[in-house]
Amino acid sequence: MALSDDLRKRVVEAVVLGGLSRNQAAAHFKVSVASAVRLVKRFTTTGEISPAPSGGDRRSGRIESHRDYLLGLIRRSPDMTLLEIQERLIANCGERFAVSVLWRFFDRHEITFKKKRRMPKSNNARTCKIDAGNGSRGSSISIRRSSFSLTRQEPPPISRAKADVAGAGAGCGRPPRTVTIKR
């Protein structure tokens, strides 16, 4: 539980000015002995009684020391992945950083890595699962243009001689193909 600044001040004054021991001050103000020791130590080293700020980033200084190298690397080759940047840092600087640290570094510096489209947007083909019902999210998937039924060409007609051969290979794991020949 956090202690108020008023209570902090009274504990410190009792020890420093009042001559009480830390244990006696802790018992008198009903705080833990460890808290009284920490309060007095903080006051004697920094001169403050208010709590130190908590949380925040305390380790980004290590990667920030390579700021110029990283920003120059991205300027020279903007299409590098975070894994490639990680490998370059290990090889050239001898420093090893997790990919998440690199991501946070570039996020702090407002540099983003956007995925590039594999192909132009299609106006006549599905880009999500067909069985996605109402309320389901479906999933965005990459589909080669040749696999769309609307853009695929019709297969060439099969002659009677080829129809017999096509039926012979029916044991390949797929159902036999039915061929209809019009006369």
Annotated domain spans of the chain: 5-46, 60-108
CB-based contacts of 119, cutoff 8 Å, min separation 6: 142, 144, 145
The secondary structure of residue 62, as a DSSP letter, is H
- Residue 160 predicted with pLDDT over 90: no
- pLDDT for the residue numbered 29: 95
- Average predicted confidence (pLDDT) for the chain: 77
Distance (Å, rounded) from C-alpha 143 to C-alpha 106? Answer: 31
Confidence band, pLDDT 50/70/90 cuts, at residue 119: low
Contacts of 143 (CB under 8 A, 6+ apart): 125, 126, 127
Q: Binning pLDDT at 50, 70 and 90, where does residue 72 land?
A: very high
The amino acid present at 41, given as its one-letter code, is K
